[in-house]
Structure 1
Amino acid sequence: MSAFTFTPMSYADFKTFWPAFQQIVAAQETYAIEPDITRDDAYRLWFISPRTTFVVKDATGGILGTYYLKANAAGPGDHVCNCGYMVADAARGKGVARAMCEHSQQQARELGFCAMQFNAVVSTNDVAVALWQRLGFAIVGTVPGAYRHAQYGDVDTHVMYKAL
């Protein structure tokens, strides 16, 4: 993990990561985001709306991935946070998602959140489901057929939760 550097995402970082973002949502395998989302709408979604957004870079400054952190709900539900993680295709399998999840949990604690909840982890995303479970998240519910997967059709999503 020491080979990774986390910094708050800048607009320039977002523009650099935009092709990877497009590729991830266009695949329709993990994110319930319109596949043809515009860069401006994606920027608002990923960078403006959340409480904080980070990028993870390698030793050369190349962007490996990004995550956002925000309250999962408003008012009486704002003590539980939600995160979204994206890893560039070339960085998969290098521990980036694990590092982002660990970093986001620390950030969440520092921001006063008591728990983290993932609202819609696509059940066919076996790598992510297994990683989140290894990091202490439990599947607390499953929503049948809640995601239209590009390859498998309607698949389940999991709600995953961890007290911080």
Structure 2
Amino acid sequence: MIPFLLCGLAVAACTNAPESTGIASANRSAASARPSASSTGDPAAFVRCMREHGQSMPDLGPNEPLRLIPPSGEQERAWRTALQACQRFLPEEQRPAGPPPEQLEQLRAFAVCMRAHDVEMTDPAPADGNMVIKGRLANVTRAQLDSDPVYKAAIEACKDKLPQEQKEGK
């Protein structure tokens, strides 16, 4: 149906994040701190930050580029959360690109619609467009989410708000 968004929502829904967190378990302050970083970044600070967020990062040699390769499986979610929190230390060209403004606005409209249909959800993050399901559906499995009548009704009612790329599953 809308695989791209649902995949992101499922990952977010399966996190054990407390209610006070934002994007896929990452604190929203990470996104707001981004403008203060220089365009050249600070690779050493990035490595320290990732380690502070529980990720194993090798020491960088002189002029050695950062390699941003996420682990697979369950560890990928924690890695992406750490990346979200630490991206302010990356050079501009390595920071995750967010959706264009018109898509971000469509994703906001989708989140508003989902909330109007009793599915608690955050607004999309400007950095990546991710939204997090909160409330009673926050820690359910993908199968539970797909079988929840409230969620299914909300998706059906709100799918027209999604950007065309996500409707087509691109």
Q: TM-score range by the shorter chain?
A: under 0.3
Higher relative contact order (CA 8 A, sep 6+): 2
Give TM-score scaled by structure 1 length: 0.22
Q: Which has the larger radius of gyration?
A: 2
Give TM-score scaled by structure 2 length: 0.22
